[in-house]
Amino acid sequence: MTTPKWLETAIFYEIYPQSFYDTNGDGIGDLRGITEKLDYIKDLGCDALWINPCFDSPFNDAGYDVRDFRKIAPRYGTNEDMRRLFNAAHERGMRVLLDLVPGHTSVEHEWFKASMRSDAGPYAKRYIWSDSPWERFNGIDNISGYLNGVCDRGTVAVNFFSTQPALNFGFAEPEPDKPWQSAADSPEALAARADIKEIMRFWLSMGCDGFRVDMAHSLVKADKGYKKTIELWREFRAFLDAEFPDAAIVSEWGKPDQSLAAGFHMDFLLHFGDSHYNDLFRDNPYFSGAANGDLTEFIAYYKKVRAAAGLEGLICIPSSNHDMARIARKLTNDELKLAFAFLLSMPGAPFIYYGDEIGMRYLEDMPSVEGGYERTGSRSPMQWDSSLNAGFSSAKPEELYIPIDTDRARPNVREQLADENSLLNEVKRLIQFRRGCEALWNDRAIEFISGAGAGQVLAYRRGGEGGVICAFNPGRKAAEAPFLSGLKPLYMISASKADFKGSVTMPPQSAGFFQ
């Protein structure tokens, strides 16, 4: 397998296109807006983007219900705008990942319409139709529900919301008395694979640099141990290696031991599953001085999957994303600096969700927009400055796709750029430091040297013997860190401004990199 060289240092910025920058005043972000803001992202230090789905869609799940995989949704622009965005990014040495949704389509996709009409045409088995309208798919792994009575065929399996019927990549072990369960290597399952490959080829040929893959684990049904799903992705990876060796794929899977074995270059630790990701910034966050958070289980999990995955792929930690509460929900400004020092000194490609770099708030109790539900609070417009709509759009405030944060003290980019002590400038400095320090690059080694139980210092060495020691004391009291004895601080963050010089004690709410 080949690994693109650029992944060694890539730092990603996730853009929710609806809410990033609106250039035509219709209240919703667009591709030209992203292109106009590339210099901001580059100046921040990120050199790769992940853009949430921006394809034609009825938007029952904010675009994760794709109606036409090959067409940019008119509200964001045209395919030509996307081509211009790829080019503008490449001119700046940046890469662009699109969001590939292979597990399902919208009920309005042509494939689904054809599939509903007939049980004989080429799309008859493109979705998982049972032969009875009373089938419930109960207890089948990776089928989240069903639709029945939508046409004169049986029941069709659903992958997420009921507007998202599951594409048919087959069953790991089809049950003999259920002939409607295709095998993973049946002609219909292979036809679905081939069409997804064509969609990848379409965007990669236009200049796209790879994909974040939605629900990547979900394709083959009833696949205990994910053997068949892993086989399927290994075939996709072989295709990329052969035709687009510089392209990268990152899975929404949340189990790097499986996804990296499946050929993904990267996987995320996520707010669901057993990674204890939430122990970092969310439930009882380790990085909060007020909480009594404990990273013991996080570290145990991390070590386990890293050992299982080997060094071939990257385990990526997001600041947050469009599905979870923003990182600022439970952390103060000072605590956010420590959290970013962690994010930007861990292995894997860091992923920064738009607005987290200025500490945008999670907006509580927002009315749901386009199937966002409680996720809507993390999807509000980017705050650029203190003008109308925080500089996001010239539309009337009541016409915005999602209302802007109404807090008078809401952070914005312009003010933070002008303030040396702002979170934004700290994030910029941290990124610069990471880029200049090879020991911190994405694929370099990590070794934990302190337990990080409640109230304890978290510390790890990056880059092996002679590398860099990263240490964190989020607590409100100074903490002993004997392993720092004799080391020289290279980078420091300290809320109390107390410094570390020649000491083995970390001041309250501090982080440092040492050698």
Q: What is the 3-state secondary structure (H, E, C) of 401-439?
A: CCCCCCCCCCCCHHHHHCCCCCHHHHHHHHHHHHHHCHH
Residues 48 and 12: beta-carbon distance below 8 Å: yes
Q: Least distance from C-beta 140 to ligand NOJ, angstroms? A: 18
The Cα 54–Cα 68 span in angstroms is 10
Q: Which of 156, 192, 196, 215 binds ligand NOJ (CB under 6 A)?
A: 215
Q: In terms of Cα–Cα distance, which of 279, 184, 268 is closest to 232?
A: 184
Backbone angles phi and psi of 511, in degrees to 5: -145, 150
CB-nearer residue toward ligand NOJ: 215 or 341:
215
- What is the smallest separation between the CB atom of 52 and ligand NOJ, expressed in angstroms? 8
Instruction: Check residue 61 for interaction with ligand NOJ (CB under 6 A).
Output: yes
Shortest Å distance, C-beta 203 to ligand NOJ: 18
Q: Are 261 and 230 in contact (CB under 8 A)?
A: yes
Smaller CB distance to ligand NOJ: residue 215 or 511? 215
Q: How far is CA 470 from the centre of its chain?
A: 24
Nearer to ligand NOJ, 216 or 341 (CB): 216
Toward ligand NOJ, which CB reaches closer, 30 or 214?
Answer: 214
Which tokens belong to 371? Answer: 């199937």
What is the closest distance, in whole angstroms, from the C-beta atom of residue 99 to ligand NOJ in the complex?
Answer: 8
Q: How far apart are CA 388 and CA 394, in angstroms?
A: 7
Total residues contacting ligand NOJ by CB under 6 A comes to 9
Return the number of the residue (272 or 432) whose C-beta is nearest ligand NOJ: 272
CB of 159 to ligand NOJ, least distance (A): 7
Q: Is 10 helix (H, G, I), strand (E, B) or coil?
A: coil
| Site map (CB under 6 A) of ligand NOJ, residues 150-169, x = contact | ----------x---------
Q: Which of residues 402-441 bind ligand NOJ (CB under 6 A)?
A: none
User: C-beta of 474: minimal distance to ligand NOJ in Å?
Assistant: 28
Q: Residue 323, interface with ligand NOJ (CB under 6 A)?
A: yes
- Helix then strand then coil, in percent of the chain rounded to 5, is 30, 15, 50
With CB under 6 A as the contact rule, the residue among 223, 252, 370, 405 that binds ligand NOJ is 252
Question: Of the candidates 368, 369, 359, 358, which has an alpha carbon nearest to the alpha carbon of residue 330?
Answer: 359
Among 22, 56, 214, 267, binds ligand NOJ (CB under 6 A): 214
Nearer to ligand NOJ by Cβ, of 64 and 286: the residue is 64
- 67 vs 435: CA distance, rounded Å: 40
Least distance in angstroms from the C-beta of 18 to ligand NOJ: 12
Instruction: Using the minimum distance from each CB to ligand NOJ, give the nearer residue, 203 or 353.
Output: 353
Binding mask 83-122 toward ligand NOJ (x if CB under 6 A, else -) reads ------------------x---------------------
Q: Cα–Cα distance between 409 and 79 in angstroms, integer?
A: 38
Report the distance separating Cα 101 and Cα 68, nearest Å: 11
What is the distance in angstroms between the CA of the first residue and the CA of the last residue of the chain?
34
Nearest approach in angstroms of CB 316 to ligand NOJ is 14
DSSP sequence for 304-358: HHHHHHTTSSEEE-BS--TTS--GGGS--HHHHHHHHHHHTTSSS--EEETTGGG
- Cross-strand partners of 353: 14
- Other Cβ atoms within 10 Å of 405 Cβ, number: 21
Q: Supply the minimum distance, in Å, between the C-beta of residue 98 and ligand NOJ.
A: 13
Q: Are strands 248-251 and 210-213 parallel, antiparallel or unpaired?
A: parallel
| Tokens standing for residue 490 | 């290279």
Residue whose Cβ sits closest to ligand NOJ: 64
State how far the Cα of 128 lies from the Cα of 151, in Å rounded to an integer.
14
The residue among 49 and 439 lying less far from ligand NOJ, judged by its C-beta, is 49
Give yes or no for residue 64 binding ligand NOJ (CB under 6 A): yes
Please, which residue, 170 or 318, has the CB nearer to ligand NOJ?
318
Instruction: State which residue, 61 or 426, has the beta carbon closest to ligand NOJ.
Output: 61
In whole angstroms, how close is the CB of 138 to ligand NOJ at the nearest point? Answer: 21
Positions that interact with ligand NOJ (CB under 6 A): 61, 64, 101, 160, 214-215, 252, 322-323
